[in-house]
């Protein structure tokens, strides 16, 4: 009987490793205020989810006009992204058979990292730093450059258009960036850039994509389409109306990157789980049959122990895809560059349905003060923004 002890001991060791649980960190009670709850999650939640909550909370702060808070959150999140990419011990552990992908430090899929840089670029421009804004838009485009199908690489219209506009504002030549933006246009074509435009209006609307898992062992990362009753926006200021069609669709961006390296790892995990499960079944059944006879009892128990080991290995394998999502992103992004006289103005942003009809109850009214040249006034508006606002 001694000859079968080692597989049983090994099986139990593997079982204990596979069932290892993380230390529970109690969270603070929910208040119903997403800004407060987000801050509490950042401070008290698992460190692996810190960036996720910084993303979510930064968007809430922006929609309330609390731009200093959004900057603080995004700066910390982007610094963590830079420190984590390529050298995160938790990511290496998540590649192992017995640790789920969701145990790794969250930095988001490329479309989520793009949006972190995009929002930070808006905030830099608000602060009169178009050079830093341009650097953020270029960093965002780089996050989208690693697609499997190169025709979808760095294909956000707004990122290239804003790169070109910032270059134009800084006295450079943005023509190459404008050409890229025009070539990438699918939903609508961006306007001709005007260096005299001194009011930049960033508009977003809809509910962006979220993630879910499919497959026998939930190893396939999939994206659920975003929804939006709005299909366009319009800006009313000084008795003039400007129509804004969306330039970028985040669901399209999330679903056109092709496979991830992690997808292959998860597929291998799922294959290992299936194989060890089948081998375990065969081993247990065969071993128990052999163990019923005296002349093959020892061998049978050994085969059964090996089958048990295989079954435990299968049960401990964690091929599930990570479906943590930056779940308060918009679906559509659009933009307008206006030339307004210095001084106070009231900007009204309305949202339109598929038939270009106004969606009731969604008007956003923003009071702005346009500075003297050469500074730009930057306005950020979401269909979920608090209203009225002063920006």
Residue 348 clears pLDDT 80, i.e. is over it: yes
Structural contact between residues 7 and 308, judged by C-beta atoms closer than 8 angstroms: yes
What pLDDT shows up at residue 16?
Answer: 43
pLDDT (tens digit per residue) in 356-370: 999 999 999 999 999
* 364-370 and 240-244 strand pairing: unpaired
Average pLDDT estimate for 333-362: 96
Same domain, 278 and 152: no
pTM of the predicted model as reported, rounded to 2 decimal places: 0.83
Share above pLDDT 90 across residues of the chain, in percent, rounded to a whole number: 58
Query: Each residue of 379-390: b (16+ CB within 10 Å) or e?
Result: bbbbbbbeeebe
Res 99 pLDDT > 80: no
Q: Is 177 helix (H, G, I), strand (E, B) or coil?
A: helix
Q: Is the dihedral of CA 216, 222, 224, 225 positive or negative?
A: negative
| pLDDT confidence of residue 313 | 60
Integer Cα distance of 116 and 75 in angstroms: 9
Residues 250 and 271 in one domain: no
Q: How many domains does the chain have?
A: 2
SS3 content of the chain, % helix, strand, coil (to 5): 50, 15, 35
Is residue 292 in a domain? yes
Q: Which of 280, 311, 342 is the last residue of a domain?
A: 311
Model pLDDT for residues 133-168, shown as the tens digit of each residue: 999 999 999 998 865 555 567 789 999 999 999 999
Instruction: Say which residue the tokens 């690693």 belong to.
Output: 146
| Rounded Cα gap, residues 255 and 180, in angstroms | 21
| Tokens matching residue 211 | 């993630």
Q: Six-digit token pair at 170? A: 């800084």
pLDDT at 289: 64
What does the pLDDT read at residue 268? 58
Looking at the structure, tell me whether residues 123 and 105 fall in a common domain.
yes
State the alpha helices, DSSP H only, in the chain. Answer: 5-18, 34-44, 50-63, 67-84, 89-94, 110-126, 130-143, 157-169, 175-184, 250-255, 261-291, 297-316
**Same domain, residue pair 9 and 75:** no
Q: How far apart are CA 62 and CA 353, in angstroms?
A: 24
Give 66-79 pLDDT, tens digit per residue: 999 999 999 999 99
Altogether, the residues listed in the chain come to a count of 391
Backbone angles phi, psi at 388, to 5 degrees: -80, 165
Contacts of 92 (CB under 8 A, 6+ apart): none
- Same domain? For 184 and 105 the reply is yes
Residue 355 in any domain: the answer is yes
One domain for residues 79 and 161: yes
DSSP letters, 49-88, are: GHHHHHHHHHHHHHHTT-HHHHHHHHHHHHHHHHHHTT--
Mean pLDDT of the chain: 82
Please check whether residue 53 lies inside any domain of the structure. Answer: yes
Share of the chain above pLDDT 70, in %: 71
- Residue 132 CA to residue 224 CA, distance in Å, equals 33
Per-residue confidence (pLDDT) for residue 383, from 0 to 100 = 97
Q: What's the mean pLDDT in 163-190?
A: 94
Q: Are residues 147 and 211 in the same domain?
A: yes
pLDDT value for 332: 98
Angstrom CA distances, 202 to 118, 239, 247, 281, stand at: 11, 20, 11, 59
Domain that holds residue 6: 2-17+264-311
pLDDT (0 to 100) of residue 82:
78
Burial string for 195-230 (b: 16+ CB within 10 Å, else e) reads eebbbbbbbbbbbbbbbebeeebbbbbebeebebeb
pLDDT digit string, tens, across residues 12-40: 444 444 444 444 445 678 889 999 999 99
Other beta carbons less than 10 A from residue 137's beta carbon? 30
Nearest to 375 by CA among 201, 198, 202, 200: 198
Residues 304 and 330 occupy one common structural domain? no
Regarding whether 292 and 225 lie in a shared domain, the answer is: no
Residue 58 lies in a domain: yes
Is residue 55 within 8 A of residue 326, CB to CB? The reply is yes
Residue whose structure tokens are 């499997």: 148
Does 215 share its domain with 227?
Answer: yes
Question: If 0-12 CB within 10 Å is exposed, 13-18 middle and 19+ buried, where does residue 273 land?
Answer: buried
Query: What whole-number distance in Å separates Cα of residue 197 and Cα of residue 333?
Result: 19
> φ and ψ at 140, to 5 degrees?
-65, -45
Please say whether the beta carbons of 331 and 207 come within 8 A.
yes
Residue 317 lies in a domain: no
Residue 263's nearest CA partner among 217, 309, 198 is: 217
- Residue that finishes a domain, picked among 279, 311, 343: 311
Residue 109 counted as domain residue? yes
| Buried/exposed 324-339: b ≥16 CB within 10 Å, e otherwise | bbbebbbbbbbbbbbe
Is there a single domain that holds both residue 6 and residue 155? no
Residue the block writes with tokens 């608090």: 386
Predicted confidence at residue 282, as pLDDT, reads: 61
- Let me know whether 66 and 79 are in one domain: yes
Predicted local distance difference test score (pLDDT) of residue 12: 45
In-domain check, residue 64: yes
- Written as six digits, the tokens of 241 are 């109306």
Tell me if 316 is assigned to some domain: no
Express each pLDDT in 205-222 by its tens digit. Answer: 999 999 988 877 767 788
Among residues 311, 343, 377, the one where a domain terminates is 311
pLDDT > 80? residue 314: no
């Amino acid at each position: 009987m001694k000859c079968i002890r080692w597989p049983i001991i090994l099986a139990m060791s593997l079982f204990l490793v596979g069932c290892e649980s993380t230390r529970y960190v109690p969270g603070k009670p929910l208040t119903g205020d997403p800004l407060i709850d987000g801050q509490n999650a950042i401070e008290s939640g698992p460190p692996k989810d810190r960036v996720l909550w910084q993303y979510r909370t930064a968007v809430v702060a922006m929609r309330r006009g609390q731009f200093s808070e959004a900057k603080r959150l995004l700066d910390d999140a982007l610094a963590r992204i830079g420190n984590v990419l390529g050298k995160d011990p938790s990511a290496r552990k998540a590649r192992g058979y017995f640790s789920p992908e969701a145990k790794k430090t969250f930095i988001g899929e490329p479309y989520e990292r793009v949006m972190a840089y995009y929002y930070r670029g808006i905030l830099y421009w608000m602060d009169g730093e178009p050079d830093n804004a341009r650097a953020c838009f270029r960093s965002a485009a780089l996050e989208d450059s690693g697609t499997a199908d190169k025709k979808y690489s760095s294909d956000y219209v707004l990122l290239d258009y804003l790169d070109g506009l910032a270059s134009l504002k800084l006295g450079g030549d943005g023509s190459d960036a404008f050409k890229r933006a025009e070539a990438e246009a699918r939903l609508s074509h961006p306007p001709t850039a005007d260096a005299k435009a001194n009011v930049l209006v960033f508009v977003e609307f809809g509910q962006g994509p979220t993630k879910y898992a499919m497959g026998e062992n939930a190893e396939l990362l999939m994206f659920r389409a975003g929804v939006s009753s709005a299909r366009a926006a319009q800006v009313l200021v000084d008795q003039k109306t400007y129509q804004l069609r969306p330039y970028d669709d985040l669901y399209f961006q999330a679903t056109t990157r092709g496979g991830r390296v992690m997808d292959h790892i998860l597929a291998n995990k799922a294959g290992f789980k299936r194989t060890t499960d089948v081998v375990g079944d065969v081993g247990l059944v065969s071993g128990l049959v052999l163990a019923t006879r005296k002349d093959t009892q020892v061998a049978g128990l050994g085969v059964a122990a090996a089958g048990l080991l295989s079954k435990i290995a299968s049960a401990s394998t964690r091929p599930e895809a990570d479906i943590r999502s930056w779940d308060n992103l918009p679906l559509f992004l659009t933009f307008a560059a206006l030339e307004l006289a210095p001084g106070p103005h009231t900007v009204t942003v309305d949202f339109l349905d598929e038939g270009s009809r106004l969606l009731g109850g969604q008007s956003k009214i923003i009071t702005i003060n346009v500075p003297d040249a050469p500074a730009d006034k930057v306005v950020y508006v979401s269909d979920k923004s608090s209203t009225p606002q002063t920006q």
